[in-house]
């Protein structure tokens, strides 16, 4: 980095010295004005020359493209995380619903709901696992209720009876 700054300062200094020498040697009148204009442009190019490499159009385009790609990648990651959080909330709320229905049927249980996606890509309850104590009639009523209201067939419902 320091080498680049040193090189830039030497270039600007050399251009300024050449400009001063040309100004001193130029005859008075229009020739001196043209010499000063050309020297000023040369000094400007010497001072701004390193910026031309930095402001290279292709490098700038690549940098912007890289930022755009990174932004899109982060957006996709955020959408995936958002989808996971959304499904986790829905699974918890549905499990609470199952436990409430069990209480209405006269027994307590713990429930775990796993969501999947239907053929249209819409999230829906896929599997339900319940643990608790119930009678056969209570379990059969809960199975029918979950199949009717949540669309989870009995084959994707599992029940683990806990004996007191």
pLDDT digits (tens, 9 = 90+) for 28-68: 888 888 888 888 888 888 777 766 665 556 766 777 788 88
| Class of the CATH-defined domain 88-161 | alpha beta
Sign of CA dihedral 104, 109, 115, 119: negative
State CA 43 to chain mean position distance: 45
Phi first, then psi: what are they for 134, rounded to 5°? -155, 165
Residue 55 confidence (pLDDT)? 59
pTM score, whole prediction:
0.57
Would you list the domain boundaries of the chain?
A: 2-55, 88-161
């Amino acid at each position: 980095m320091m080498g680049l700054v040193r090189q830039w300062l030497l270039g600007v200094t050399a251009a300024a010295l050449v400009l001063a020498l040309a100004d001193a040697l130029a005859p008075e009148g229009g020739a001196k004005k043209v010499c000063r204009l050309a020297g000023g442009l040369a000094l400007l190019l010497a001072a701004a020359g390193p910026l031309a490499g930095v402001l290279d159009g292709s490098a700038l385009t690549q940098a912007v493209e890289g930022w755009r790609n990174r932004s899109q990648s982060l957006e996709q990651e955020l959408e995936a995380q958002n989808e996971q959080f959304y499904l986790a909330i829905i699974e918890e709320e549905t499990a609470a619903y199952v436990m409430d229905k069990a209480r209405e049927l006269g027994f307590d249980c713990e429930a775990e709901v796993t969501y999947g996606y239907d053929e249209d890509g819409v999230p829906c309850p896929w599997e339900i696992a319940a643990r608790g104590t119930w009678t056969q009639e209570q379990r059969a009523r809960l199975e029918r209720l979950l199949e009717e209201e949540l669309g989870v067939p009995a084959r994707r419902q599992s029940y683990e009876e806990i004996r007191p």
